[in-house]
Amino acid sequence: MTAGIDYLKDFLPIISVIVGGLIGIGSSFATIIITRRYSKREEKESRERQRLEEAYELLLDIKKDYQGILGRCISKVHFSTPMEPEHHEGCPPIIRLEMLTNLYLKELKREFTSFSKAIDAFGKDYAEIITGNFSGLDLKEKQRKCGQLVSKYEAVEGEISILQSKIAETVKA
């Protein structure tokens, strides 16, 4: 019996090295797998954060564009200033925002739908002003027309604020 134990004692260092090596290899693989999962999750969160930041920046651009449109519309109604439509290089901000919302930021879909309705309502009055001639209207009628447009612009601005709040809420979560 002691001969068998003595025999195993000779192989004990080799067995220890093999078992230790297997444990080391196993832990290395486990570390690699965990690190990759964590990196993938971080990359996904980073991409989502970039998309949310881009959506927020697009909202700021849209707000600036619509402020300019409002000013030009008021100038057209009161002073018959000719209007030229806005031109953007590449994809306009509102189209880019719609793409981001429909493709990646589905949590903003409901708020974007409300925003689109406000944009459409503003757009109808904008189209009337672009094509209209207001030189024959009295001051009260011009003020009424501009007041309607301002109230629709305020609705657009309100929807932009709601979208911005939702984006900020999503980023914090």
Burial class (CB in 10 A: 0-12, 13-18, 19+), 6: exposed
Tens-level pLDDT at each residue, the chain (173 residues): 566 666 667 777 888 888 888 898 988 888 888 888 888 889 988 999 999 999 999 999 999 999 999 999 999 999 999 887 778 788 999 999 999 999 999 999 999 999 999 999 999 999 999 989 998 999 999 999 999 999 999 999 999 999 999 999 998 86
Cα separation, 1 vs 3, whole angstroms: 5
SS (H, E, C) the chain: CHHHHHHHHHHHHHHHHHHHHHHHHHHHHHHHHHHHHHHHHHHHHHHHHHHHHHHHHHHHHHHHHHHHHHHHHHHHHHHCCCCCCCCCCCCCHHHHHHHHHHHCCHHHHHHHHHHHHHHHHHHHHHHHHHHCCCCCCCHHHHHHHHHHHHHHHHHHHHHHHHHHHHHHHHHHC
pTM of the model: 0.81
Q: Look at residue 9 in the predicted model and tell me its pLDDT.
A: 73
- pLDDT for residue 166: 96
pLDDT for 2 equals: 62
* Per-residue pLDDT at 4: 62
